[in-house]
Amino acid sequence: MNVHRRFAESSVQHAIALATFAFVWLGIVSSDGDCRTLYAAPPDETKAASGAVPTDDVLFALGQLDAIGSALHQFQSKYYALAPNRFGENVEEVAVKSPMTTSPADESPEDKEIEELLKVLRTPKVPAAMQPTRLSWRVHILAFMGPSEVELYEKFRLDESWDSPHNRKLLDEMPKIYRFKDAPGSKTRFQVVQGPGLLFGAGRPPKSFDLEDGERNTILLLLTGADKAVPWTQPDDLAWTPQTPIANLGLAPREPIVALSANSEWIVLPGTISPQEFRGFCTPAGREVVDADLYQQKFESRMGESLKNSVMKRYGRAPKWSLRHIAATPAGDRFYLEQQVTKLKRLALGMHSYHDHFRRFPPVLRPEYIDPTGKPYLSWRVHLLPMLDQKPLYDQFKLNEPWDSPHNRNLLAKMPTIFRHSRDASDVTTTRFQTISGPKTLFQGAQGIGLNAVTDGTDKTILIVQTSVAKAVPWTKPDDLVFDAKAPLACLGDLGSELIYCAFADGRVRALKPTIPPDVFRAMVTIDGGERLPPNVAEFEME
């Protein structure tokens, strides 16, 4: 496949997969085309303190963040920068740090072609009028919004400062998307955080390559308190205060921190989060281990049926789900099922990102990764961490030591939420997301194989499966399911009436009925068995 096409398709798949939860589960498109993100804060945080943002206001703020994030994403696609920056030039080329390290032996002609393409992406193409910008990033992304915003953008003189006689007249024309409760006049509470070591204020426009800690775990912009609001065209936003980062936001005590991550998904952090952990979400390359998905799951589990009620009240219809059968499940099960599907999708995407880099699924067995018997020291889940926005955690492992060595065992407790079953406690360190190994499977022996060996079709071959509780393993341990062709379903354990959730090699997630015939399941596990799935195979799947 042409490398430019493959790179573009990979980027599109990445955007779709990471936006699935925010825009399919939470995102509802209204009749006028606006996307509203729905959220209901837990009671203790909604009523915590006077001045705290009410639930309806949080819903509205998240909807605005979605729209702003969409415009920023379009800006990035055109200019190869996350947004214009207040400080410095942006003509220098910076080194690209791959999430994985490639040795000369792993390189191929296609790798070199990809590297040439990346050289183009390293240097942003922001127009000279924005270097450095004399106007806020909020002004420059108007060009990627609706017709009225584009018309407003064309009124600005980009070569003049925000408070020039001409540009100052436009302050009163602040678009509604930047306006929020309690912010006076032409001031806005939607801001980025500026300062040394952050995305903004580094001396050049921020780029996606700066996000060494992962897009999902880095805050792009947030909602400040009313007293911190700034003129919307002013290029100076919230100043970073390392000693008191949360207090500097100007929020009420215990008020949740409503933010947008660099991958355009929302983050709602509790007001009680520690300053140290909050700093980890603000720095793009601080190497702190943080997990936005953990907070997302906590808030989802607390919302429960109130989310559906909020959607019905506002739009007269229920949320859309990625699998139709989830909408028909009891309310108590619906949200955790959606979480499981989302996790499988992201794991499949991570697998494909790894495959794009190494031409095979993890792990690649370098000599330092295996013991004398040829078995990997660590599971594929560990080696997948850089592709899941968890590079800082990956760097803490000693890859040449067993999973249960004194050093690596201490990292068990840092299991990312993406590997944890949604019904498990937050301190559980075992996972039910596993691969199936054995002859004619995707994982033959100690390492994965390449997609070119899947002759039965990627849409018919299982990549990752959710097992029973009894089959859960420590997430760092290199043990997964061993396939028995004579008893294909036995490797999953006793699932009872539980559906079999699988991510297939094409990235699609499907739910199989527990009554699926063993020979049909066997055909879905093997990669080149030549089996033909029966015409009635759809009877054993849940849409």
Amino acid at 305: E
For residue 274, pLDDT beyond 50: yes
Condensed to tens digits (0 to 9), the pLDDT of residues 22-31 reads 333 333 222 2
Per-residue model confidence (pLDDT) at position 259: 93
pLDDT bracket for residue 78 (50, 70, 90) = confident
**CB-count exposure of residue 317 (10 Å: 0-12, 13-18, 19+):** exposed
Largest CA distance in the chain: 81
Geometric angle at alpha carbon 18, from 14 and 21, rounded to 5°: 150
Q: Which residue has the tokens 């400080």?
A: 87
Q: What is the mean pLDDT of the chain?
A: 77
**What gap in Å lies between CA 138 and CA 531, rounded to an integer?**
56
Q: Where are the domains of the chain?
A: 3-315, 324-542
For residue 256, pLDDT beyond 80: yes
**What gap in Å lies between CA 451 and CA 361, rounded to an integer?**
8
State the pTM of this model.
0.70
Q: Which of 155-159, 226-230, 528-532, 538-542 bottoms out in mean pLDDT, i.e. has the lowest?
A: 538-542
Residue-level length of the chain: 543
Per-residue model confidence (pLDDT) at position 41: 34
Check residues 171 and 371 and name the one with the higher pLDDT. Answer: 171
pLDDT bracket for residue 7 (50, 70, 90) = very low
**What gap in Å lies between CA 404 and CA 472, rounded to an integer?**
16
Per-residue model confidence (pLDDT) at position 174: 96
3-state secondary structure 99-126: CCCCCHHHCCHHHHHHHHHHHHHHCCCC
Beta-bridge partners for 193: 238
Geometric angle at alpha carbon 382, from 411 and 263, rounded to 5°: 100
Per-residue model confidence (pLDDT) at position 85: 59
518 Cβ partners below 8 Å, 6+ apart? 487, 488, 489
To the nearest whole percent, how much of the chain has pLDDT over 90? 39
The average pLDDT across 59-84 equals 82
The average pLDDT across 335-356 equals 86
Cα-Cα-Cα-Cα torsion 154, 144, 256, 339, nearest 10 degrees, comes to: 170
Backbone φ/ψ region at 290: left (φ over 0), alpha (ψ -120 to 50), beta: beta
489 Cβ partners below 8 Å, 6+ apart? 516, 518, 521
CB-CB contact of 431 with 360 (8 Å) = no
pLDDT bracket for residue 17 (50, 70, 90) = very low
Enumerate the H helices of 21-162 as residue ranges: 43-46, 55-79, 109-122, 137-140, 147-153
CB-CB contact of 248 with 239 (8 Å) = yes
Q: Which two tokens stand for residue 303?
A: 């919302």
Condensed to tens digits (0 to 9), the pLDDT of residues 378-388 reads 999 999 999 99
For residue 8, pLDDT beyond 70: no
Per-residue model confidence (pLDDT) at position 3: 32
Per-residue model confidence (pLDDT) at position 473: 96
Beta-bridge partners for 500: 512
Condensed to tens digits (0 to 9), the pLDDT of residues 479-517 reads 999 999 899 999 999 888 788 899 999 998 888 888 889
Condensed to tens digits (0 to 9), the pLDDT of residues 402-427 reads 999 999 999 999 999 999 988 888 88
pLDDT bracket for residue 32 (50, 70, 90) = very low
- 42-51, 262-271, 405-414 — which one is most confidently predicted on average? 405-414
pLDDT bracket for residue 21 (50, 70, 90) = very low
What are the Cα distances from residue 106, in Å, to 109, 125, 212, 335, 446? Answer: 10, 31, 22, 41, 18
What is the bridge-based pairing of β-strands 481-482 and 436-437? parallel
